[in-house]
Chain A
Amino acid sequence: MDKTINLMGLFDDDVTTAAALDDIYDLGVEDDQITVISSIPYPEQALGREHVWIRLPIIVLVGAAIGFATGFFLSSITPRLYPINVSGHPITGGPPAAIITYIFTMLFAVIAIFIGVLWEMDVPGFEKKFYDKRITSGKLAVLLENLPMNQEKAAVSAMEKNGGQDIRRPEKMSL
Chain B
Amino acid sequence: MSEISRIRKSDGVIVPEDVQDQLLLTTLSDDELNAKMLEPMMKTGPLYWGVLAGLAAVFFWGLYAWAYQIRWGFGVAGINRPVYWGMYISTFVFWVGISHAGTMISAVLRIFKADWRRPITRGAEAMTAFALLMAGLYPMIHVGRLWKVYWMVPYPNNRYLWPNFQSPLMWDMLAITTYLVGSSLYLYLALLPDLGMARDNSKGWRYKLYRAMALGWRGTESGWHKLEKSLGIFAIVIIPIFLSVHSIVSWDFAVTSQPRWNSTILPIFFIIGAVFSGLSALATILVLVRWGMNLDFYIRKEHLDNVGKLIFVAGISWIYVWFAGLIVEWYSNMPVVIELLHDEWYGELAPLFYAMMVLNIVPIFFLAFKKVRRNPLALLILTLMVNVGMYIERFLIVAGNLMRNYMPFNWGDYRPTWVSISIVTMTFAGFILFYMIFTRVIPYVPVWEIKQGRLRFSTRQVGRVEVITITQVD
Residue total for B at the interface (Cβ-Cβ under 8 A)? 63
Answer whether residue B19 sits at the interface, using C-beta atoms and an 8 A cutoff: no
The residue that B196 contacts in the complex, of A93, A116, A136, with Cβ under 8 A, is: A136
Residues of A near B174 (CB, < 8 A) are: 100, 103-104, 107
Answer whether residue B460 sits at the interface, using C-beta atoms and an 8 A cutoff: no
Answer whether residue A43 sits at the interface, using C-beta atoms and an 8 A cutoff: yes
> By the criterion CB–CB under 8 Å, are A107 and B178 in contact?
yes
Interface members, chain A 35-59 (any B CB < 8 Å): 35-44, 46-47, 49, 52, 54, 56-57
Answer whether residue B219 sits at the interface, using C-beta atoms and an 8 A cutoff: yes
Answer whether residue A1 sits at the interface, using C-beta atoms and an 8 A cutoff: no
> By the criterion CB–CB under 8 Å, are A110 and B182 in contact?
yes
Size band of the interface chain A makes with B = 35 or more
Task: Please name the residue on chain B nearest to A79 by beta carbon.
Answer: B165
Q: Which of A22-30, A118-126, A146-154, A155-163 forms contacts with chain B? A: A118-126
A73 to B448 Cα, complex, angstroms: 42
Residues of B near A3 (CB, < 8 A) are: none
> By the criterion CB–CB under 8 Å, are B182 and A41 in contact?
no
> By the criterion CB–CB under 8 Å, are A175 and B226 in contact?
no
**Chain B interface, >50% SS class:** helix
> By the criterion CB–CB under 8 Å, are A137 and B31 in contact?
yes
> By the criterion CB–CB under 8 Å, are A100 and B448 in contact?
no
Q: Which of B136-144, B232-240, B412-420 forms contacts with chain A? A: B232-240
Answer whether residue B440 sits at the interface, using C-beta atoms and an 8 A cutoff: no
30 contacts between A and B (CB under 8 A): A36-B220, A36-B221, A39-B451, A41-B227, A42-B224, A52-B225, A56-B226, A56-B229, A79-B166, A84-B162, A89-B166, A93-B166, A96-B171, A99-B248, A100-B165, A100-B174, A103-B175, A106-B182, A110-B182, A111-B185, A114-B185, A117-B230, A123-B217, A125-B216, A126-B211, A131-B218, A137-B31, A138-B30, A138-B451, A175-B218
Task: Give B contacts to A, CB under 8 Å.
Answer: 29-31, 34, 154, 160-162, 164-167, 170-171, 174-175, 177-178, 181-182, 185-186, 188-189, 192-193, 196-197, 199-201, 211, 214-230, 233-234, 237-238, 240-241, 244, 248, 448, 451-452, 455, 473-474
